[in-house]
Structure 1
Amino acid sequence: MTSDSRLTPRWYTTAQVAELLGFGLYKTKALIASGELRSLKDGRYRRILPEWVDDYVKQRAEESRT
């Protein structure tokens, strides 16, 4: 085991996804509300799996090719 105790997140908060994508929080919440970016409700909070962020990016890249 290494001395680095940081863990890779299993899911992201809306704010973390906004930062990852370079979007504002409002735009990220709008993508979630529209269903363009998949999320789940965990208690009071929205969570986004890393693969859902990847899916969104792939979808946008494919749309830009057409």
Structure 2
Amino acid sequence: MTTTVIQPKWLTTAEVAAQLRFGLSKTKMLVLTGEIRSVKVGRNRRILPSWVDEYVERIAAGSEEWAA
């Protein structure tokens, strides 16, 4: 028997905060300012995992430029 694991397609702001080890209010601010891309679904914001990766890569690239 094979077990299939379904990965979530959309993340909540709270799930992104947990992944980044940021507080919820900081993560919400990053979403509201557009630092982390999101879409509004009803009254909620949803974030693709790839958008979280984009944010992390952008921040990491910025820190590399600073260190140079």
TM-score by length of 2: 0.88
Q: Residue 24 of structure 1 aligns to which amino acid in structure 2?
A: G
What is the CA distance between 1:3 and its match in structure 2? 3.5
Residue in structure 2 matched with residue 2 of structure 1 by the alignment? 2
Q: Residue 58 of structure 2 aligns to which amino acid in structure 1?
A: Q
Residue in structure 2 matched with residue 25 of structure 1 by the alignment? 24
Residue in structure 2 matched with residue 54 of structure 1 by the alignment? 53
Please tell me whether Structure 1 or Structure 2 has the larger radius of gyration of its CA atoms. 2
Q: Tell me, which stretches of 5 or more residues in structure 1 are unaligned? A: none
Structural RMSD (CA): 1.3
Q: Tell me, which stretches of 5 or more residues in structure 2 are unaligned? A: none
Report how many residues are paired. 65
